[in-house]
Amino acid sequence: MFIVQSYTLAIVFCFITMLCWGSWGNTQKLASKTWRYEFFYWDYVIGVLLFSIISAFTLGSFGAEGRSFMDDLAQADIMNIGSAFLGGIIFNASNILLSAAIAIGGLSVAFPVGVGLALVLGVLINYFGAAKGEPMFIFIGVLLITIAIILNSVAYKKAQVGKRNVSSKGIGIAIAAGIIMAFFYRFVAASIDLSNFANPAAGKLTPYTAVFIFALGVFASNFLFNTIAMKRPVEGEPVSISGYFKGKPITHLVGILGGVIWCVGQSFSMIASEKAGAAISYGLGQGATLVSALWGILIWKEFKGAPKISSYLNLGMFILFIIGLGFLIYAGA
């Protein structure tokens, strides 16, 4: 299987993760013109599972190092399989809430608040679960990112004067999504031998197998979570599953593309975690908040007509986020 051999390449992979995790929401924005997010999310989950299978039988099976996907799956311990599967369930619970927050508040608030909070909590959870990197710089980076999240929330509030109910609901759902999302990565990482991908301990999973099992957890749990979301939507009327089958092929493909983009990021993050450490790999990937906020502000014009104070606050958010991410990179180096 393919294994990252240097910290520098691991950081490159983490930045690819950041771009993927910060960009998949654009597919939801595109689909939302004619498609409810609940329908979009079925296709998104299919895309996640599809890429995990492709990755497992290509990068996860070629090469002389490590166990191939099928060999790794055959020897996997049930506890490690369960851990990765549970990580998928936890992620799906959080991500469907994040999709709801995007539908209500847009990319430029759902990601900085929801995913930003997941970054802060997740870095701490993953560091204490598998300590790697200089703790002082990790915690300084987390503190700066926390302040950046607060600035974005205030900017959004200022831009939503007269729309307080919508604003509060969007931020509230994003916060719930972020708290839950903070825990998923630790369960997936716990199923992997983070110290040695080339010769992993017996019963442990390779990153490719872990991502596949994780994707199965996402797919299976979606029959519960998305059914609830359709029957009790955060916005609009309840919808029936029959509506999903009335979608145009191009609309379905947009949703599947969103899932593929996200899973590329997840795969690259796990592949990088041996050299970078789980906390730093996760934290840099969740710098996706910066990418998504740029999409929301510059492309989707989600702050159009907002007062100037919102622009200044968002500028402060970007600056602090970049500095915070810099501290996370330095912590691992």
How many domains are contained in the chain?
Answer: 1
The residue whose two tokens read 């924005």 is: 29
Q: Assess if residue 245 is contained within a domain.
A: yes
CA distance 266 to 281: 10
Hey, CA dihedral for 266, 32, 97, 222, is it positive or negative? negative
pTM over the 0.75 mark: yes
Q: Assess if residue 1 is contained within a domain.
A: no
Cα–Cα distances (Å) from 178 to 31, 101, 116, 244, 292, in that order, read: 23, 11, 7, 27, 15
pLDDT of residue 62: 92
Q: Would you state the structure tokens that stand for residue 310, as one six-digit string?
A: 């919102």
pLDDT of residue 294: 87
Judged by phi (left if over 0) then psi (alpha if -120 to 50, else beta), residue 103 lies in alpha
Give the Cα-Cα-Cα angle 189, 190, 196 (nearest 5 degrees). 75
Hey, CA dihedral for 303, 116, 228, 157, is it positive or negative? negative
Backbone phi, psi, residue 223, to 5° = -65, -25
Q: Would you state the structure tokens that stand for residue 332, as one six-digit string?
A: 């691992």
Backbone phi, psi, residue 201, to 5° = -60, 150
Q: Would you state the structure tokens that stand for residue 138, as one six-digit string?
A: 């990790």
Q: Assess if residue 301 is contained within a domain.
A: yes
pLDDT of residue 301: 85
Q: Assess if residue 2 is contained within a domain.
A: no
CA distance 162 to 141: 34
pLDDT of residue 105: 76
Judge whether 229 and 96 are in contact, CB under 8 Å: yes
Q: Would you state the structure tokens that stand for residue 323, as one six-digit string?
A: 């500095």
Q: Would you state the structure tokens that stand for residue 40, as one six-digit string?
A: 């979009």
CA distance 44 to 26: 12
Listed residue (255, 251, 250) closest to 226, CA to CA = 255
Alpha helical stretches, state H, the chain: 7-23, 25-31, 37-57, 69-75, 78-105, 107-109, 116-129, 135-159, 164-181, 184-190, 207-231, 249-276, 278-285, 288-294, 308-332
DSSP 8-state code for residue 204: P
CA distance 310 to 304: 10
Range of the domain at 208: 7-332
Side-chain-side CA neighbours of 238 within 13 Å: the count stands at 5
Tell me the pLDDT of the chain (333 aa) as tens digits: 999 999 999 999 999 999 999 999 999 989 998 899 999 999 999 999 999 999 999 999 998 888 999 999 999 999 999 999 999 999 999 999 999 988 887 887 788 888 888 988 998 898 888 778 889 999 999 899 889 888 877 887 787 654 544 457 888 899 999 999 999 999 999 999 999 999 999 999 999 999 999 999 999 999 999 999 999 998 889 999 999 999 999 999 999 999 999 999 999 999 999 999 988 999 888 888 888 888 988 888 878 888 899 999 999 999 998 999 899 889 986
CA distance 306 to 329: 33
CA distance 37 to 210: 27
Listed residue (293, 279, 309) closest to 122, CA to CA = 279
Listed residue (175, 181, 149, 170) closest to 293, CA to CA = 149
